[in-house]
Structure 1
Amino acid sequence: MTYKRVWQSPKRGGRSASDESAESYYGVAPIHKPHWKWLIIAYFYLGGISGLSYVIAEIAEVAGGAQNRAITRAGRYISFGTLLPCPVLLVFDLGRPERFLNMLRVFKLRSPMSVGTWVLVVFSGFCTWAALVQAAQDELLNWFGAWTYAIKAVPARWVGVMGAPFGFLLGGYTGVLLAATAVPLWTRNALLMGPLFLASSASNSTAALTLALSLSKAPHRAVARLERLEVFSLVTELGLLSLNRKRLGSTIGRPLSAGSTGRLYRFGVHGVGIIAPLVLTAVPMMTG
């Protein structure tokens, strides 16, 4: 393969080799663009909601009470509903289904992708079982006959607790996966990426649960508890993002302050994604 020296092209206005090499290696980008697009972005988003919705649901199950029971019910269904597209998104991104199966042949503890694949598989089992238990409790599986009684006989609380760590991992491992790449924006703050994605997953999950409970006319105390958790998650996410931006510096962090990516980061991530929902949730709590 040969590369054309872009600085030699007359369309570049006679730029020198030194000018061109300041931005690239003679027209060749120093970092390859990621091959994945919206499929993986959607997986990050839905997987985070699924993992943390499950965790919140099982914490509410252990805590007990009528208000928490509504949180458990909504969390199990939301977790299962957002989990369903995740394997499909990964398979479509890989191009061929057998590639996903090939990743299950081995388990590499030092590979975030290998760990994440197995986390998704194991969590899928716990999440599906929790949804079945909830459906059986809601008498939606009566047509299963004896299977319904068998599902109800299993101690759902302890099975749910065993699956909670995998929900946490699903919500945060994607940040660790990005930190293991060669992109300076991600590797510079490798230790912050996991907690940042976990906080983002928590804020998205609590927002989804709050919306679901509000539409179903759940007890006000249950909604209020979720709103407090949402505010805490948003504040944590905002703090981690600010720390991440500060540690990047002006050179590595330039994409987050310039161009279309910078505008998306400021107005999309910070403005619409964090500050707006934080104000809309926190202000009524303080004034009401």
Structure 2
Amino acid sequence: MSRALNRVAGGDGTKEERAVPKASFRSYYGRPVLKQPVWEWLVPAYLFAGGLSAACAELAAGADLTRRPRLRKVTRVGALGGLGASMYFLIADLGRPERFHHMLRVAKPSSPMSVGTWILVAYGPGVGVSAVAELMPKRLRRTMLGKLVGKLARPAGLSSAAVAPGVASYTAVLLSHTAVPAWNEARDWLPFVFTGSAAASGGGFGMVCAPVEEAGPARRLAAAGAVTELVTSRQLDERLGVVSEAYRTGRAHRLRQWSEYLTAGGALGSLLAGRSRGVAVASGLALLAGSALQRLGIFEAGVESTRDPKYVVVPQRQRVDRGNPAGAESAQ
């Protein structure tokens, strides 16, 4: 019997040789089991910008209710800027602008893309009205239209804040409903990672752009979001079985490791930035960079997991062994 065969413990404590060699996961003609995603950097940029916009909308609503006008202004404008960037990246990835319009023809609750499209439709107008109220020149604010926009700014901001959690998390559901193993197997954790990452980036944006004396809510949101991101992101390295290797190796690992360093540093800085403008700006930039690298790292892990057949075959076999063959079929 070949020496390449594995040895296992026998009933009497001795070593016995296996009857079959350890399985190797090779696909037909060496080709991947799944097609590699054709998405480029536009997709992680879209994920980051949308999460940033949602967190800024939440901060803006809180700043409005607690009478922090400068924090309210920068976060309302940040919410609009993030939404605009997110829509640009999405439409650029779709290839033709009319494809986004076509998704509005139907509402399909079973499709994360359809639900996400309608979430953006519900979110966008409130963000736009509240930002316009902040950017409107003083001479226009005295007109009838200006006064109307001013009156609508608060309810519009609150309505967008109510939808913002969906904006921050629906992209995680969108990814996890694909056949990509690193995303599909992480479906229980990705929404928490994305929401925490969004909160950290929004808090970081507020720390960078708002004066220190008004940025208290931004610092608290940044710290809470960073802790949530760090804790739940670690689960991707430990709770996904063999698929966790896609997160712990290669370019995805390096990107996420740097994200962890920056996010942890930014969270620490948010606790120390109560009086220092320089610390606040540096910490906020670290949180923004950490959030962006987290999305890019998760994207890279997904791409890598489509290249090795074991990330598809092993989880399917494990589901069959647990008596859940339907689960194996659903991941295909």
Q: TM-score, normalised by structure 2?
A: 0.70
User: Percent same amino acid at aligned positions?
Assistant: 29
Which amino acid in the other structure matches residue 260 of structure 1?
R
Q: Is 2:283 the counterpart of 1:254?
A: no
1:196 aligns with 2:193: yes
**Post-superposition shift, 1:240?**
0.7
Question: 1:30 & 1:45 partners in 2: Cα distance?
Answer: 29
| Amino acid in structure 2 at the alignment position of 1:278 | A
Give the drift of 1:195.
1.9
Amino acid in the other structure paired with 2:190:
M
Indicate yes or no: 2:254 matched with 1:263: yes
Give the superposition deviation at 1:235: 0.8
1:207 match: 204
Structure 2 stretches of 5 or more lacking a match? 1-20, 280-332
Deviations 1:112-137 (A, max 9, x none): 1001111112211111011122234x
Give yes or no for the alignment of 1:48 onto 2:51: yes
How far apart, in 2, do the equivalents of 1:164 and 1:19 lie?
A: 53
CA apart distance, 1:53: 0.3
CA distance change for structure 1 residues 269 and 26 in 2, over 3 Å: closer, same or farther? farther
Could you say what the CA RMSD is over the residues aligned between the two structures, in angstroms?
Answer: 2.6
Q: 1:111 and 1:281, CA in 2 relative to 1: closer, same or farther beyond 3 A?
A: same
Amino acid corresponding to residue 245 of structure 1 in structure 2: D
Return the offset for 1:284: 5.6
Query: Does residue 1:34 correspond to 2:37, yes or no?
Result: yes
Give the conservation status (yes or no) of the 8 Å contact 2:59–2:218.
no
Task: Provide the C-alpha distance between the structure 2 equivalents of 1:148 and 1:283, rounded to a whole number of angstroms.
Answer: 40
Partners in 2 of 1:23 and 1:134 — Cα distance?
A: 59
> Equivalent residue for 2:267?
278
Q: Following TM superposition, by how much is the alpha carbon of 1:157 offset from its aligned partner in structure 2, in angstroms?
A: 2.4
Q: 1:173 aligns with which of 165, 170, 173?
A: 170
- TM-superposed CA distance for 1:179, in Å, is 0.9
| Residue of structure 1 equivalent to 2:214 | 222
Q: Which stretch shifts more, 157-166 or 195-204?
A: 157-166
Equivalent runs, 1:100-249 vs 2, <5 Å: 100-136=100-136, 139=138, 141-142=140-141, 145-154=143-152, 156-213=153-210, 218=211, 220-249=212-241
Cα shift at 1:19: 10
The 2-side partners of 1:284 and 1:90 are apart by: 35
Whole-Å separation in 1 of the counterparts to 2:61 and 2:259: 29
Distance 1:153 1:227 in 2: 29
Alignment match, 2:85:
85
Shift in CA distance, 226/153, structure 1 to aligned 2, threshold 3 Å? closer
Pairs aligned (count)? 257
1:168-224 superposed Cα distances (whole Å, 9 cap, x missing partner): 1111111111111112222223122112111101100110111001xxxx2x33223
Instruction: Specify whether residues 141 and 89 from structure 1 end up closer, same or farther in structure 2 by C-alpha distance, changes over 3 A only.
Output: farther
| Cα distance between partner residues in 2 of 1:196 and 1:71 | 25
Give the structure 2 partner of residue 57 of structure 1. 60
d(CA) in 2 for partners of 1:91, 1:258: 31
2:301 counterpart residue number: none
- CA deviations on 1:214-254 (whole Å, 9 max, x unpaired) are xxxx2x332233222211110111011112322112x1111
Distance 1:98 1:257, change over 3 A: same
**Structure 2 Cα separation of the partners of residues 74 and 148 of structure 1:** 19
Preserved contact between residue 21 and residue 27 of structure 1 (Cα < 8 Å):
no
User: Counterpart of 2:178 in 1: which secondary structure?
Assistant: coil
* Structure 1 CA distance for aligned equivalents of residues 139 and 105 of structure 2: 36
Mapped partners of 1:100, 1:20: distance in 2: 45
- Name the CA shift for 1:44/1:232 in 2 (closer, same or farther; >3 Å): same
Note closer, same or farther for the CA distance 1:106–1:163 as it changes in structure 2 (3 Å cut).
same
Mapped partners of 1:278, 1:152: distance in 2: 35
Task: Give the C-alpha shift of residue 56 in structure 1.
Answer: 1.3
**Mapped contact 1:135–1:141 kept (Cα < 8 A):** no
For the 8 Å contact 1:196–1:240, the answer to whether it is kept is: yes
Counterpart residue number, 1:3: none
- Contact 1:112-1:177 at 8 Å conserved across structures: yes
